[in-house]
Structure 1
């Protein structure tokens, strides 16, 4: 009896989800989104690296699109080789989770039950320095900075780039 009930519920869910998908597919056959130009992505990376260099930090910066693919990546003189990967992962995490990595780092440290989030994808990095990028209040990608002696300093460089290039506050 219990197995029959489970089978009926499962079948109902499958049929319902199929009709919802079928209804949506008729109206939403194409999804449109905005993407940063490669020139804008490079400018963001360049301004962030320049700000950190001015502050005395050798960093790398990565800008990713909505799917987490790299649009621009820049490593400053004497930045450690690991900074390329950390900046990419911070940007990936910010766009994937749709929030600054500093917020995610804080949330996970305050709620240990969420700690497994850090391990669900090898590209995630829950350290400060990744910030989602929005244009006209629409998510278009993310920027990640890595290599300053503290994530809060990476954030300052990323925010400087966002404010300068996108003419908005992060």
Structure 2
């Protein structure tokens, strides 16, 4: 009987320790993902660019995808892959474009689903990446990135 109580006490202690060690993470909610995607498409539309915008959660799972009227057929996948790259690397993809010039980083282009073109931006709350946005379809990745950044500025108060 004593052994049973000792084992029960150990099991209780382990389960309590395990419960206190669970990760607490933030992730982007659907309504905010949709709002950010809409903002990006509208930002580019003001400049006469028909784009697609994809917003992924912190794990790279698609939360929202919008394709503007007239956006190229390739743009939804390009936007999703740019967002995936930014979420995974937790950095702006235009920075990665510069980094792959270094021979040590050149093989980043070989990672499945990565698209190392400007237009992917991590979505952060403080230092924590909670998702990413990717925009594709403007005449250059720099314009895609500007639309993504503008979309995030519009919701900056909600990312605190």
| TM-score class normalised by the smaller sequence | 0.7 to 0.9
Deviations 1:110-146 (A, max 9, x none): x13321111022x101000000001233210000000
- Give, in whole Å, the separation in 2 of the partners of 1:118 and 1:28: 39
Aligned residue in 2 for 1:140: 130
Task: Indicate the SS of the match to 1:112.
Answer: coil
Higher share of residues assigned helix:
1
Please, which runs of 5 or more residues in structure 1 have no aligned partner?
1-24
Structure 1 moving runs of 4+ over 6 Å: none
Aligned partners of 2:128, 2:46: CA distance in 1, in Å?
A: 30
Q: What's the TM-score once normalised by structure 2's chain length?
A: 0.84
Of 63, 82, 89, 1:90 maps to 82
Gaps of 5+ in 2: 1-16
**Between 32-41 and 112-121, the greater mean CA deviation after superposition:** 112-121
Please show how residues 64-143 of structure 1 align to structure 2 within 5 Å.
64-109=56-101, 111-121=102-112, 123-143=113-133
Distance of 1:120 and 1:35 partners within structure 2? 24
Per-residue deviation, residues 8-30 of structure 1 (Å, max 9, x unmatched): xxxxxxxxxxxxxxxxx847642
- TM-score, normalization: structure 1? 0.79
Aligned counterparts of 1:167 and 1:105: Cα–Cα separation in 2: 29
Q: 1:30 aligns with which of 18, 22, 46?
A: 22
Q: 1:65-104: CA deviations, max 9, x gaps?
A: 0110001010000001100000000000001011000000
How many Å separate the matches in 2 of 1:44 and 1:151?
18
Report deviation, 1:59.
0.3
Q: Is the 8 A contact 1:135 1:166 kept in 2?
A: no
Distance (Å, rounded) in 1 between the aligned partners of 2:156 and 2:136: 20
